[in-house]
Every structure is written in C-alpha cells, then in structure tokens.
Amino acid sequence: MTAAASWPRIEGLAYGGDYNPEQWSRATWDEDVLLMREAGVNLVSVGIFSWALLEPKEGLYDFAWMDELLDLLHANGIAVDLGTPSVSPPAWFFHAYPESRVVTKDGTVMGFGSRGMASHASPEYREAIARMAGELARRYGNHPAVVMWHVHNEYGVPVGEDFSPRAVASWRGWLQRRYSTLEALNSAWGTAFWGQHYDDWEHVVAPAATPTTVNPAMKLDWARFTDDQLRECFVIERDAIREHASQPVTTNFMAHQSWNVDLWKWAQLVDVVSDDHYLWAPDPDAHVLLSLAADLTRSVAGGKPWILMEHSTSAVNWQGHNVAKRAGEMRRNSLTHLARGADAVMFFQWRASRSGAEKFHSAMIPHAGTNSRLWREVVELGGHLKDAAEVRGSVVRADVAVLYDWESLWAQDLEWRPSDDVQFRERMRAYYEGLWRDGVTVDFAHPTHDLSRYKLVVAPASYLLTAEAAANLTAYVAGGGTLLVNFFSGIVDEHDAVHAGGFGAPSRTRWA
C-alpha cells in the first residue's frame, strides 16, 4: 500500500484540536460532539496519549472504546487524525523493560510519571511501537472517520538526548556506518587535540558528563545521531501504518521551538507537514517568531500540504508567567498561519483537563465552560474559517530566502564559542524581524538548495558551511543573485573544524 500524497479528505479548511475523551465520562462525549458542531470543528486528533488504555497489559488490547468514539465522531461529521501513542508507553512497559528508560548526561535515569521517557534506541521500545502502530492501522485503516495518522508527539521534546547503555551501543554502530574507519573518525573529530585519539571502536564514548568541555565534533555528531534515532522510530511507525492503511501520515513539528530535529530531513518523511506553535509570553513581539515558525514550516514542507496542528486559545501553563491572550489575539495568530499557507487551524486541546500537569493550559472549552468569552471566540473563529475555505491550498511566493540549517544551529550553539551572545536563534530572529517589519515575505532555504529564483538570499547564522554549500552560494552570486551574509558565518566545516583560510589547504596528519 502507498500513502496518499495529499491533504486528507476534508472540505475547505480544517478546524479543531487534540481531543482526549478518555479524561471524561461517556455523557461528556455526547456534549462534546454537539459543541464541536456548534463551533464548526471538523477534525480532531485522538489517541496521542492512549496507549495505557488501548493495551492495558502487554499484548492485551481494548479497542472497544476507540471504536465507539470514532463511530460517534463520524456520525457527527467530524473527521479524525488518529494518533499513535508512542510518546507515552504505559507503566507496565517501563516495569517490564527498565533499560528502555532515557538516561541523562550525568547518569540520572528518567522515571515514569511524566511523559517522553522512552529510549528511542531501545529494541524493545521499537518493537512495541511497531506492534501498536500496526494494530491501530489494521483496525482503523478503513474506518471512514480516520483521514490522517498522527505519529508520536513533538519528537525531540521534552527530551532528545539519551545516554542509556542502549543508546551508547547504538551510537558506536552509527559511527562505524558513518566513518567506516577509525582514521576517518579521528580526523573528523580532531582527536589529536587533548589526546583523544581512538584505537578501538569499543573505546569510543558518548559526550556524557566530563570534567570540562567535550570534543565539539563528537557533540555535533551526537546531535545528528540523536535526530537519526528519532527519525528511525518515526519510520518504523509510519511503515507499520502503511502496511494496512492509506491515509496520509504526519507528525507534529515544533519549528524554531524544538531543536533536536532537522526538519529538512523530517519533512521528506511525512505526507502532510504539521506544526505546533506556542508563544513565549515575556516576549512582546512573540508574534514575529510565530510568523517565522509558519514560514519555516511552509518552507520545509516544500510544496506538500501543511497545517497548524497545535496552538493555544489563550495562556499556556509551563512558563513562569502564563499570560492570557488579549481579545483577538487567537484569531490574529490563526490567520497568520492561513496567510502563510496553512490548511488547518488546530489547538491543544478541545476541553481543558481537570487533572494532570497541563490543567492550566487553555483549551477550546475552558474550565469556565461555554458561557465565556473564550468559547464565543472559538465559535467565531470556526465561522471565519468556514468563510475562508477558498484559501485552502493557496500558494505563497517569496522573493527572499533566509538560510536555515539545523546542523549549523547545533554547531554554533556548542560550548566555547567567541561569545555566548552570538547564538543561532538571536541572529535568525534579528534578520527575520527586520524583513518582517519591512513587510517582506520570505522563504527559508537550506544553503545547498537551488536559490536561483530568489532576488535576495540572507545568511544570518551560517557558522557551519560545507564546501558544497559555499560553492552553491558562490554560484548563486555568480548568477546575479544578492547574498547578505552575517558575521561569524562560514567558519567551520561539517566536523566543526575551522576552514583552512589563511593556513592554506587543510591536510591530514599522519594519524588520520
């Protein structure tokens, strides 16, 4: 079976949010679907955290409640983006497979009771998620309510790195595949500095706790490895789904808010690109970063349909001061996404939780209920989206490209750079904000992309720039393009090694 390459079977724009009915009585479900219809909701994401209820004991499944839920939604004309629950394995999983827990840099084992604690390197975890995704796809691949698959949740947060023994073993295998020989690894990592030469693959360590700064090239590779581990797990689930189902598959990114995932690579793997965005309350101009994230999401999508999978109707709960949105702010943020090409406006979550870590996160139905300003704004927004159905699928055209490369982000933000203040994010914002204030529409691009269609290319933070990318930029300029390059760009190659520059051509030492 092959996956659909297009946006799911929904008329016009999609509107809705994460729906977690397992937190509510059956009577509330009926109230929910009535209210969804009142608000114009036509798409909800379900099941993202439901593993413990779908498989209460290992190998024992309970799909009855999900059957009932999907039928209820379908009967009310509400389509479903069906989640795989891999972000939150049940308590029994960690009890049975304690070595599948994430370990921090300093050796602390991450325990159950929160979320996101599974080691993506664990074979048992990988087997369990493949099985669960397969079971769901087999059962719901043909369910008429299901129009899309939502694998996992926000890969890379709250944790990306994992120093568990399983992860370190995977790391060695990854390095062998990447470098083939220890000579190549020693050369790439510059192990001659501080006497770190390796003579045996088994001696290679991960960049865990050390007395002072760890080898930066190792750490940059570790970031690549971490991203790869997450992507491997996504592909395991996606492929397990595709064996039984043909709806498009997505996973929700956090563009410019989650740093462990290279979205240029991830966007290749999904059918629909989706993004979550949350404002940072202390920032009076947080809407500029919201626009940046939307432009970045559209850019990585590269022509694929893309949607806003999550944002908030008002305050979030995890910041120091969770500021409620002003009247109209939710609409402004929603329309900002539409204007940048999104085909859906979705929220976390439909109904505010009474319990749990995020009960003070706003929702489409607030704690105050439907007799509230917030609910009226939610209904109003549903109307706006219905009226704007014609913009679905519209295309954004930009004359300016901003270079954005996660590898350069990872490299630039390593330790012991000339100044802590020269950060990828700060530079990116400074340039983007300037263009935004001048009303210039921008795409983002990778430095190796074909840039010939742009009048201007801006490189705010290209600290890491490969020879291939440099050649590409040179060709762009030679072809008449205008390139604006920020200071501290083009400093290192893909191994965080300073380009040869005044030294003459780089050369191998006798040991590498």
Catalytic residues, by residue number, are 154, 310
Between residue 17 and residue 56, which ones bind its own copies under the rule CB under 8 A? 20, 22-28, 49-53, 56
Nearer to its own copies, 5 or 109 (CB): 109
Nearer to its own copies, 50 or 250 (CB): 50
Per CB under 8 A, 287 contacts its own copies:
no
Part in contact with its own copies (CB under 8 A); list of ranges 171-179, 269-277, 384-392, 413-421:
413-421
Distances from the Cα of 352 to the Cαs of 29, 148, 284, in angstroms? 14, 24, 26
Answer for which of 74, 183, 198, 246 binds its own copies (CB under 8 A) is 198
Nearer to its own copies, 54 or 400 (CB): 54
**Complete DSSP assignment for 84-131:** E-TTS--HHHHHH-GGGB-B-TTSPBP-SSSS--B-TT-HHHHHHHHH
Per-residue x/- track, 116-135, its own copies (CB under 8 A): xx------------------
User: Minimum Å distance from CB 322 to its own copies?
Assistant: 5
C-alpha–C-alpha distance, residues 217 and 214, integer Å? 9
Per CB under 8 A, 171 contacts its own copies:
no
Per CB under 8 A, 415 contacts its own copies:
yes
Going by C-beta distance under 8 Å and a sequence separation of 6 or more, which residues neighbour residue 33?
Answer: 72, 73, 76, 78
Per CB under 8 A, 502 contacts its own copies:
yes
Answer for which of 203, 373, 437, 455 binds its own copies (CB under 8 A) is 203
User: Minimum Å distance from CB 21 to its own copies?
Assistant: 8
Between residue 67 and residue 86, which ones bind its own copies under the rule CB under 8 A? 85
User: Minimum Å distance from CB 59 to its own copies?
Assistant: 13
Q: Find, among 77, 150, 43, the residue nearest to 385 by Cα.
A: 43
CB 17 within 8 A of CB 350: yes
Part in contact with its own copies (CB under 8 A); list of ranges 129-137, 330-338, 411-419, 451-459:
411-419
User: Minimum Å distance from CB 81 to its own copies?
Assistant: 17
The number of beta carbons lying within 10 Å of the beta carbon of residue 242 is 19
Going by C-beta distance under 8 Å and a sequence separation of 6 or more, which residues neighbour residue 307?
Answer: 7, 14, 250, 272, 273, 274, 275, 342, 343, 344, 345, 346
Nearer to its own copies, 106 or 438 (CB): 106
User: Minimum Å distance from CB 443 to its own copies?
Assistant: 32
Is residue 244 exposed (0-12), middle (13-18) or buried (19+ Cβ within 10 Å)?
A: middle
Between residue 444 and residue 483, which ones bind its own copies under the rule CB under 8 A? none
CB 493 within 8 A of CB 499: yes
Nearer to its own copies, 329 or 358 (CB): 358
Per CB under 8 A, 503 contacts its own copies:
yes
Specify the length of the chain in residues: 512
C-alpha–C-alpha distance, residues 261 and 221, integer Å? 13
C-alpha–C-alpha distance, residues 231 and 225, integer Å? 10
Nearer to its own copies, 388 or 497 (CB): 497
Answer for which of 257, 322, 423, 472 binds its own copies (CB under 8 A) is 322
Distances from the Cα of 33 to the Cαs of 19, 38, 345, 376, in angstroms? 11, 9, 18, 17
C-alpha–C-alpha distance, residues 236 and 246, integer Å? 16
Per CB under 8 A, 109 contacts its own copies:
yes
Answer for which of 369, 383, 393, 434 binds its own copies (CB under 8 A) is 369
The number of beta carbons lying within 10 Å of the beta carbon of residue 6 is 12
Between residue 226 and residue 245, which ones bind its own copies under the rule CB under 8 A? none
Nearer to its own copies, 268 or 511 (CB): 511
Between residue 348 and residue 367, which ones bind its own copies under the rule CB under 8 A? 352-360, 366-367
Part in contact with its own copies (CB under 8 A); list of ranges 291-299, 311-319, 441-449, 472-480:
311-319
Nearer to its own copies, 359 or 455 (CB): 359
Distances from the Cα of 492 to the Cαs of 408, 449, 463, 489, in angstroms? 9, 19, 6, 8
Running DSSP on this structure, what letter comes out for residue 498? Answer: B
Backbone angles phi, psi at 150, to 5 degrees: -120, 95
CB 12 within 8 A of CB 383: no
Part in contact with its own copies (CB under 8 A); list of ranges 198-206, 289-297, 305-313, 381-389:
198-206
Per CB under 8 A, 173 contacts its own copies:
no
Answer for which of 77, 107, 123, 383 binds its own copies (CB under 8 A) is 107
Per CB under 8 A, 282 contacts its own copies:
no
